[in-house]
Amino acid sequence: MKQDTKHTAPATPWHRDPAVRALVFQALLVLVVAWSLGTIFSNTITNLESRGIHTGFDFLDEVAPFAVGFSPFIEFILGESTYWDVFLIGIQNTMIVSFLGIIAATLLGFIIGIMRLSPNWLVSKIASVYIETFRNIPLLLQIMFWNFAIFLPTLPGPRQSLSLGESLFLNNRGLYLPKPVVENEAGTWVVVISAIAAVIACGVLYRWARRRKDQTGQSFPIFSISLLIIVLLPMTVYFIAGNPIAAELPELKRFNFEGGMQMPLPLFSLWFALTTYTAAFIGETVRGGILAVDHGQTEAANSLGLRRGQVLRLVVIPQALRVIIPPTISQFLNLTKNSSLAVAVAYEELVNIWSGIALNQTGQALVIIAMTIVVYETLSLATSAILNFYNARIQLVER
């Protein structure tokens, strides 16, 4: 036996042994990659040193020598806020526009996707035209279009603002809303707690309604009742507690409205563009997802006597969702990343004020770009984690 092996397969020299070769090549590859990275790193350090550039995180504590205009949740004080604050404001503003964009694009995308499948010729053609238009025009162009061609020329200046009940104003600088101001802290807490209680009550009601439906088959108008509870309960408490929250109205000063809640025009330009653009893609995903559901399902639902809306809501969409969600996650991530085009219309998000203005004024390119990358990476991973969790929950459970 031993001799046999020797004859049929003579001892291969080590450099011909596939296992050894594979190991050697992989080791070499690792070495090359490590060496390349090392070279890039040492190159950068040497070049920075030779030009006298010091890099590090020290500048984060310095006072930012420029102003940031839009920051609804973090207060920016010129002359006191630091670069770190600017960084946080950048993240905040990126998250605001991404959040608004994701919500709006999902709603619009769903509507468009379903419209495109409509048996009504006009409705489906409108959806097709919408998709083909918005999907094929570069996003940057759309952002500029909304801002420079639609909003700025059509909206009036601050002194001729459109107003609704003298408390809500719209002009070519933005939207000005009354801002809730806490006047009586204890009363405010009562209202907040009552609102939370209303939400919990709805949850309980929902579970009860479901159980009843499972047992008796009777359905319960859960949506309208919940809405009623959520609106009525806190409102009643609010009036009983003696109006603990007042409204600060925007006031017209020399140049524009001051006070109140302000949403700058660039936010709308960016939000609209991101929404219309991303909705076109989501619409196609939705259409694909619905078409992926076997037509027999619709026919079966029809033969049970369900209306078209019910067929969609109860039979088709739950099955379509598992096809729709994974590609929609990437659309959400795209939307978040696309918000970095904001600089074209002067919306102050992360890339604009952090890796734009702050980078330029400090010269700390390495640190700032690295921090920006980490933020987008984190936002993307968080978004996909949340949606993957949701996706796992709605997946078909095999019984």
Partner 1 sequence: MNTNMFIKLIVTAGALLLSITASAGTLEDVKKRGHLVCGVNNGVPGFSAPDDKGRMQGIDADVCYATAAAVLGDASKVEFTPLTAKERFTALSSGEVDVLSRNTTHTLHRDAALGLNFTYYNYIDGQGFMVKKDLGVKRALELDGAAICIQQGTTTELNLADYFRANNMQYKPIGYETAPQTRDGFDKGACDVLTSDKSQLAAHRTELKDPTSAIILPETISKEPLGPVVRQGDDVWFNIVKWVVYAMINAEEAGINSRNVDKLRENSDDPNIKRILGVEGEMGKNLQLSNDWAYNIIKQVGNYGESYSRNVEPLGLARKGSVNALWTRGGVLYAPPIR
Residue identified by tokens 């080590």 is: 14
Q: Which of 230, 245, 346, 387 touches partner 1 by CB under 8 A?
A: 346
- Of 73, 148, 223, 239, the one binding partner 1 by CB under 8 A: 148
Judged by beta carbon, residue 362 or residue 391, the one nearer partner 1 is: 362
Among 6, 17, 20, 25, binds partner 1 (CB under 8 A): 25
Contact 243, 98 (CB under 8 A): no
Cβ of residue 94: shortest distance to partner 1, in angstroms? Answer: 16
Q: Report, in Å, the least distance between residue 105 CB and partner 1.
A: 25
- Name the DSSP class of 350: I
Could you say whether residue 75 binds partner 1 (CB under 8 A)?
A: no
Print the binding letters for residues 227-266 with partner 1: x by CB under 8 A, - otherwise: --------------------------xxxx-x-----xxx
Q: Which two tokens stand for residue 372?
A: 């920006």
Which CA distances in Å does 360 have to 90, 339, 349, 351?
A: 15, 20, 15, 12
Give least dist CB 136 to partner 1, A.
24
Closest CA to 150 of 255, 280, 68, 271: 271
Closest distance of CB 364 from partner 1, Å: 9
| 28 is a site residue for partner 1 (CB under 8 A) | yes
Determine if 79 is a binding residue for partner 1 (CB under 8 A): yes
For residue 41, state whether it binds partner 1 (rule: CB under 8 A): no
- Answer yes or no: are the C-beta atoms of 66 and 307 closer than 8 Å: no
341-346: list long-range contacts, CB under 8 Å, 24+ apart.
341/139, 341/140, 341/143, 341/270, 342/97, 342/143, 342/266, 342/270, 344/140, 344/143, 344/144, 344/147, 345/143, 345/144, 345/146, 345/147, 345/148, 345/266, 345/269, 345/270, 346/266
Phi-psi region of 363 (alpha: psi -120 to 50; beta: other; left: phi over 0): left
User: Does residue 273 interact with partner 1 by CB under 8 A?
Assistant: no
Q: Which of 337, 355, 365, 267 is nearest to 51 (CA)?
A: 365
Which neighbouring-strand residues pair with 247?
Answer: 180
Residue 314: count other Cβ atoms within 10 Å of its Cβ: 13
Indicate whether 361 belongs to the interface with partner 1 (CB under 8 A). Answer: yes
Q: How far is the CB of 386 from partner 1 (least distance, A)?
A: 32
Which of the stretches 125-133, 200-208, 215-223, 360-368 binds partner 1 when contact is defined by CB under 8 A? 360-368
The least CB distance from residue 272 to partner 1, in Å, is 16
The region of 28-36, 103-111, 214-222, 299-307 touching partner 1 under the rule CB under 8 A is: 28-36
Q: Contact residues for partner 1 (CB under 8 A)?
A: 25, 28, 32, 36, 39, 43, 48, 50-54, 65-69, 78-79, 147-148, 152-153, 157, 172-173, 253-256, 258, 264-266, 343-344, 346, 348, 352-353, 356-357, 359-363, 365
